[in-house]
Each structure stands twice: as structure tokens, then as C-alpha cells.
């Protein structure tokens, strides 16, 4: 069971803010460091077989890894492209439906160009859970409602809680045929970056905890969103400590 660490994240965020503004070179180094870590971890959570070192080689050198599936390479390249878009969107104050569709399109177009950036037309089922995603004919309406709710939600919630709820809501709507988890994690990080927080990493070793806390919010609404918010707040806290370690090294 994860404890709520939002108060602790607020304290660490004040420490992080004391290092700002960072030099352009420092910002570039941090951006590239987290691109590899987030791409590796987010893909690994979904079963991608490439290691973090192999992910780095593909992103930085464009070299294919012998014996590894072509799709795994596509997922690395696609996530890298979506990550770059995420950074360009930081300057925006809000998140639009167009942003979400573009993030998915960049991630998925190498895998299936016809489904990239498009809402699914078929009913899907998720293995390992009793939760059944919404019917495809309801997705456009639900996504419009979701995006319209974001400005009010942002004003009423702590940045960490806001980011967690964005993630939870997108994977619950499950708007795409594939890539929903990766898109949700990019969107969650975009929400954090827009409010000055660093990128958070969910280690693949915590995959079961991560999935189980999402399940609890989907199949047992009486538990509210607390299990998932607590989990994400713990991930933010750990990532902040890592970020501070790097800032101190740069300083």
C-alpha cells in the first residue's frame, strides 16, 4: 500500500525551483537523459523487450538491435518522437484534444498508420481485469467531456493529483486501439512539466503495483482514486529525488 506523498513532493519542488533558471546546456542534458529513461520504462511496462542501453542506441545512433522484434524498434522511435512533441507543448497553458491525438499519432504511425491518432472503432477487452472499456461509439463524446473538464480540474487540484487523474481518465476511456498506457504517461508528464515538475518514471519492476492501483479505481469506484493518486505521488517523489541529485551534480 502506497502512502500519499503529495506534501513531500511540494517540499522537494521548492528545492528544485531554487536551481532555476537552468542554463540551456543543462536543460538539454536533462531532456535527453529523461527521454531515454522514459522511453525505456514506458515501453517496458507494456512488454517491450529492449533494454535501456539498447533503447539509448536506437534513439541516439539509429542502429537496429539484432534479434529484437521490429515492432519494439518502432515503439522506441515513436515514443522518442512523441516525447519531443511533449516538450514542445510545455509552453502551452492547457492540453487540447488535438495534442492528445498528435501524441498518439507520432507514437503509433510506424506500427499502424491507419489507426495512428484515431479513436478506435472496435470494442476492446483488457486481459487480467473485469473492467470493460467504453463502447467505441461513446469515445468521441467522452474525450470531449474529458478535455473540457481539464481547466477546472487543474485549478482545483495539486499538480501531482491533477496529473494522476489525467492518466487514470485516459486509460479508463481507452480511446485508442493500442498505445493508451504510453499516451497516458506522456500526457501525465506533460501536465507535470507545464507546472514546473520534473518528468516521472514508473520503474518496470513496479508494473504489478501500477496496474493493480489502476484496476482498483476502475472496478471499485467506492475506493475513489486514492490508491492510484498515492502510487503516482510516490513515483513523483522518487523522480524528484533523482532530479535533485542531478541538479546538485550540475551545480
CB neighbourhood size of 28 (10 A): 11
pLDDT at 166: 97
- pLDDT tens figures, 192-229: 999 999 999 999 999 999 999 999 888 766 568 999 99
Q: Given this model, what pLDDT does residue 64 score?
A: 95
pLDDT given at position 9? 98
**pLDDT at residue number 163:** 98
Q: Compute φ and ψ for 67, nearest 5 degrees.
A: 85, 0
pTM value is: 0.96
The predicted pLDDT at position 129 comes to 84
Options 79, 104, 167, 174, the catalytic residue: 174
Indicate if 174 belongs to the active site: yes
Q: What is the pLDDT of residue 218?
A: 84
Please return the burial class of 158, using the count of CB atoms within 10 Å of its CB with bins 0-12, 13-18 and 19+.
Answer: middle
Q: Does domain 6-119+129-250 have CATH number 3.40.710.10?
A: no
Q: Which of 169, 166, 182, 174 is nearest to 45 (CA)?
A: 182
Phi, psi of 236 (to 5 degrees): -60, -45
Residues of the chain with pLDDT under 50: none
CA atoms within a 13 Å half-sphere pointing along the CA-CB vector of 180: 21
Return the pLDDT at 130.
85
Burial of 91: CB neighbours in 10 Å, binned 0-12, 13-18, 19+: exposed
pLDDT of residue 115: 98
Amino acid at each position: 500500500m502506497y502512502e500519499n506523498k503529495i506534501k513531500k513532493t511540494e517540499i522537494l519542488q521548492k528545492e528544485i525551483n531554487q536551481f532555476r533558471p537552468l542554463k540551456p546546456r543543462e536543460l538539454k542534458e536533462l531532456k535527453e537523459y529523461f527521454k531515454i529513461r522514459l522511453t525505456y520504462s514506458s515501453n517496458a511496462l507494456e512488454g517491450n523487450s529492449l533494454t535501456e542501453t539498447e533503447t539509448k542506441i536506437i534513439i541516439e545512433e539509429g542502429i537496429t538491435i539484432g534479434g529484437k522484434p521490429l515492432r519494439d524498434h518502432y515503439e522506441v522511435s515513436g515514443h522518442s518522437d512523441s516525447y519531443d512533441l511533449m516538450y514542445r507543448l510545455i509552453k502551452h497553458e492547457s492540453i487540447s484534444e488535438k495534442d492528445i491525438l498528435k501524441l498518439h499519432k507520432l507514437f503509433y504511425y510506424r506500427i499502424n498508420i491507419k489507426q495512428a491518432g484515431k479513436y478506435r472503432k472496435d470494442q476492446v477487452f483488457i486481459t487480467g481485469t473485469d473492467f470493460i472499456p467504453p463502447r467505441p461509439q461513446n469515445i468521441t463524446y467522452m474525450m470531449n467531456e474529458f478535455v473540457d473538464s481539464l481547466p477546472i480540474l487543474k485549478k482545483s487540484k495539486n499538480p501531482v493529483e491533477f496529473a494522476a487523474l489525467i492518466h487514470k481518465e485516459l486509460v479508463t476511456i481507452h480511446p485508442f486501439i493500442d498505445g493508451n498506457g504510453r499516451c497516458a504517461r506522456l500526457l501525465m508528464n506533460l501536465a507535470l512539466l507545464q507546472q514546473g515538475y520534473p518528468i516521472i518514471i514508473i520503474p518496470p519492476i513496479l508494473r504489478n503495483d501500477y496496474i493493480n492501483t489502476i484496476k482498483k479505481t476502475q472496478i471499485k469506484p467506492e475506493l475513489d482514486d486514492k490508491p492510484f493518486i498515492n502510487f503516482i505521488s510516490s513515483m513523483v517523489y522518487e523522480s524528484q529525488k533523482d532530479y535533485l541529485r542531478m541538479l546538485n551534480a550540475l551545480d
